[in-house]
Structure 1
Amino acid sequence: MNRRKLILGSIASGVFIGSGAAWLGIEQSQEPLDIDFALSNLSKLMKQNLTTTGEWSLYQVFTHCAQSVEYSMLGYPEHKSDIFKNTVGKAAFSLFSSKRKMTHALDEAIPGAPNFSNEENIADAFERFKKSLIDFKMHEGVLAPHFAYGQLTKQQYEMAHVMHFNNHLQEIEVTNVLS
């Protein structure tokens, strides 16, 4: 066995063992994983007074979610290695897809994405995210490879975007309904 195969085999084994343990800890979601469902949730949120329990402000969360959707159509600024995408990335996406739920560091920026501006206009961030979802739904062109998961179909990307949004919703709380 050559050294490259040994290393790749070790990485893949670790990924599948780690994924198996992670898989047991993620409860399966039954929510729809489509853009219309995400848009519906976003519309409901836009009518409420929100706060975040995480490290990021609401502006940062919704800007980050918009960036992710936009980059799926335009191309991500930086990528993990092909080895990562073909092992860890594929295993992670497979795990998330099977559970219909994603978990990731909620204060980790997309690699190479520009820093968030000092502008904290939450309404603008909401609108940007909403527009990105609508643009994605209408998009008929080629989609860019994901920076960690590699090439995804439109349906897989749709699931990924909604799971990503749902994961960030775990740190968003409604304080009261706006009138």
Structure 2
Amino acid sequence: MSDLRSLQFENLDDAVLEAQSLLRTGYHPQGNWSLGQICRHLTLVQNPSVDGYPAWMSLFAFLRPAMRRFLLPKLRRPDSPRGIRTSSMFVPPEDIDDAEEVDTFARSVDRFRAHSGEYAPHPAFGRMSRSEIEEIHTWHAAHHLRFLTPNE
């Protein structure tokens, strides 16, 4: 696999703009997922911050302090780890439309931003402030979108 792009976003709006740009220019995938699949995954992971995560995802809550200490710093880096397996509920189907999923991701970001209450505790990191949870989702978006190289 060739070198991935180094992406960092200031916020989720920047991630949406990047997804919209990739939709316009076209892209070359350097990973397993299309733009639509990445946007579906980002939406599936982001929405439970507002709606709540399934109860089973809190079974390992006792590990959260260790996850905050050891995994969180790695996720902050532009070269965040590859190949971390995700729950099947967050894996996108193969045959989905890029444009539709980019639009759904943009609406999910708007909904996330408009949420006035507390966000649900993150399964790996626990309760976080609004800015911390947005930062997690922003890093997550940069991690996945770096696998797509824009067409020139």
Q: TM-score, normalised by structure 2?
A: 0.78
Instruction: Tell me the equivalent position of 2:129.
Output: 153
- Tell whether the 8 Å contact from 2:39 to 2:101 is kept in structure 1 after alignment: yes
1:124 aligns with 2:100: yes
Does the C-alpha gap of structure 1 residues 68 and 47 become closer, same or farther in structure 2, counting only changes over 3 Å?
same
Q: TM-score, normalised by structure 1?
A: 0.68
Please state how far the C-alpha of 1:95 moved relative to its aligned partner. Answer: 5.0
Which ranges of structure 1 fall in alignment gaps of 5 or more residues? 1-28
Q: Distance in 2 between matches of 1:45 and 1:163?
A: 18
Which has the larger displacement, 73-82 or 146-155?
73-82
- What letter is aligned with 1:157? I
Q: How does 1:72-111 map to 2 (within 5 A)?
A: 72-77=49-54, 78-79=57-58, 81-94=60-73, 96-97=75-76, 99=77, 101=78, 103-105=80-82, 108-109=85-86, 111=87
Q: From 15, 28, 32, give the equivalent of 1:51.
A: 28
1:60 aligns with 2:21: no
Q: Distance in 1 between matches of 2:72 and 2:101?
A: 26
Q: Deviations over 1:41-81 (max 9, x none)?
A: 23322311123111223322111111121111112232461
Identity, in percent, stands at 21
- Tell whether the 8 Å contact from 2:19 to 2:35 is kept in structure 1 after alignment: no
- Tell whether the 8 Å contact from 1:51 to 1:173 is kept in structure 2 after alignment: yes
Please state how far the C-alpha of 1:30 moved relative to its aligned partner. Answer: 9.4
Could you say which structure has the greater relative contact order, defined with CA pairs below 8 angstroms and 6 or more residues apart?
2
- Tell whether the 8 Å contact from 1:106 to 1:168 is kept in structure 2 after alignment: no
Q: Distance in 2 between matches of 1:114 and 1:86?
A: 23
Please state how far the C-alpha of 1:94 moved relative to its aligned partner. Answer: 4.4
Q: From 139, 142, 146, give the equivalent of 2:115.
A: 139
Q: Provide the aligned length of Structure 1 versus Structure 2.
A: 145
- Tell whether the 8 Å contact from 2:23 to 2:98 is kept in structure 1 after alignment: no
- Structure 1 SS opposite 2:32: coil
Please state how far the C-alpha of 1:113 moved relative to its aligned partner. Answer: 1.5
Q: Deviations over 1:99-150 (max 9, x none)?
A: 5x471335733x2516533532111111111111111111112211111111
Does the C-alpha gap of structure 1 residues 168 and 120 become closer, same or farther in structure 2, counting only changes over 3 Å?
same
